């Protein structure tokens, strides 16, 4: 979708009344299929504990079929990284398992989620410069995930937008050399640019999804506002964090400070929280949410799966 098409879609949405969408029915969903990156990967778990989809499936009492993989972008043809992307790896694997009969999920009783974008807009991608792609390319790819699965028979979707990445330690205005980036940088510039990338990307995907939803007959698409949820956790940690250490939204459970000219392989000066102190942190490391933050995500996603109301989710169809 070109920038002009996005603006045209926006104009149509402004002129057209938006009906209240019902979403899925309570008790309808039996299966939960996940796509995305390290935020959702249940194999290489990024929070030092249990991944949120496992919690969500347990809370919602549904079967989990996880396809998300750490390091992923939406498409390696758009943002190349040597990791299993959504379009070149995760979706083909899902299709293969579905076609050979090893994965049996009914269309009406299955809901699909996507949480992607952190690697697409981050360091070594849009944040630090790319002459081969744009934010429009990335967001169009994200929304095409819905269309691609719909064409295979899927009908129920949860689209999770990007969190306020300018608040994670890696991209915060007051940051430090860490395991994800040790080269020199302007912390303030990174943080401001990341905020703009995330806000613009989320606005684009929302407009595209609002334009897409009415065109997919019998589809139910929920937009889960991860950005607003994490912004609230950042602003009001006492509502969400319950550990035994002082509440912390700027540090991390596993924080490692590196020398500015030091390779990450050489190691850094690390501070690691233990036991129940871990649940006082919003972040696990300089890039990933903590297990407690992921429990919050899981509880809200489970409400969506069960057809109940979550203040962070809006059904577009």
Match 């299929």 to its residue by tokens: 33
- Number of separate domains in the chain: 1
Average pLDDT, the chain: 93
The token pair that represents 72 in the structure block: 């992923």
Residue 304 lies in a domain: yes
Q: Tell me: the pLDDT tens digits for 270-315?
A: 999 999 999 999 999 999 999 999 999 999 999 999 999 999 999 9
CA dihedral 84, 88, 89, 91 (to 10 degrees): 130
Range of the domain at 153: 3-8+22-165+184-234+291-315
Q: Look at residue 26 in the predicted model and tell me its pLDDT.
A: 97
Share of the chain above pLDDT 90, in %: 88
Q: Tell me: the pLDDT tens digits for 118-151?
A: 999 999 999 998 667 899 999 999 999 999 999 9
- What mean pLDDT do residues 207-227 have? 98
Residue 154 lies in a domain: yes
Residue 197 lies in a domain: yes
Residue 239 lies in a domain: no
Q: Which of 147, 306, 116 is nearest to 226 (CA)?
A: 116
Residue 120 lies in a domain: yes
Entry pTM: 0.93
Q: For the purposes of burial, counting CB atoms within 10 Å of the CB of 114, is it exposed (0-12), middle (13-18) or buried (19 or more)? A: buried
Q: Look at residue 249 in the predicted model and tell me its pLDDT.
A: 98
Residue 54 lies in a domain: yes
Cα 225 from Cα 81, distance rounded (Å)? 26
CATH number of 44's domain: 3.40.50.1110
Q: Which of 142, 127, 145, 128 is nearest to 33 (CA)?
A: 145
**pLDDT for residue 82 is more than 90:** yes
Cα 72 from Cα 120, distance rounded (Å)? 8
CA dihedral 296, 297, 302, 308 (to 10 degrees): 80
**pLDDT for residue 53 is more than 60:** yes
Residue 174 lies in a domain: no
Q: Look at residue 51 in the predicted model and tell me its pLDDT.
A: 98
């Amino acid at each position: 979708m070109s920038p002009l098409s996005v603006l045209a879609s926006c104009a149509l949405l402004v002129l057209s009344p938006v009906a209240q969408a019902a979403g899925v029915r309570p008790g309808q969903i039996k299966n939960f299929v996940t796509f995305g990156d390290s935020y959702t990967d249940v194999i290489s778990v990024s929070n030092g504990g249990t991944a949120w989809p496992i919690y969500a499936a347990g809370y919602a009492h549904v079967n989990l079929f996880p396809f998300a993989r750490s390091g992923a972008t939406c498409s390696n043809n758009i943002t190349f990284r040597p990791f299993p992307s959504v379009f070149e790896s995760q979706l083909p694997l899902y299709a293969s398992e579905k076609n050979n009969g090893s994965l049996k999920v009914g269309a009406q009783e299955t809901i699909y989620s996507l949480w992607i974008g952190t690697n697409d807009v981050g360091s070594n991608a849009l944040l630090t410069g790319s002459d081969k792609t744009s934010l429009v390319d990335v967001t169009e790819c994200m929304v095409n995930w819905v269309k691609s699965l719909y064409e295979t028979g899927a009908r129920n979707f949860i689209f999770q937008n990007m969190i306020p990445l300018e608040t994670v330690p890696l991209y915060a205005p007051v940051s430090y050399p860490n395991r994800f980036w040790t080269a020199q940088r302007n912390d303030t510039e990174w943080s401001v640019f990341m905020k703009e990338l995330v806000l613009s990307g989320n606005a684009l995907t929302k407009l595209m999804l609002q334009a897409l939803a009415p065109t997919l007959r019998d589809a139910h698409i929920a937009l889960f506002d991860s950005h607003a949820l994490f912004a609230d956790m950042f602003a009001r940690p006492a509502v969400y964090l319950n550990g035994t250490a002082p509440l912390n939204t700027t540090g991390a459970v596993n924080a490692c400070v590196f020398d500015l000219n030091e390779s990450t392989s050489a190691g850094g000066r690390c501070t690691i929280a233990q036991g129940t102190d871990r649940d006082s942190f919003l972040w696990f490391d300089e890039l990933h949410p903590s297990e407690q933050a992921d429990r919050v995500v899981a509880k809200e996603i489970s409400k969506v799966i069960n057809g109940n109301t979550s203040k962070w989710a809006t059904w577009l169809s």
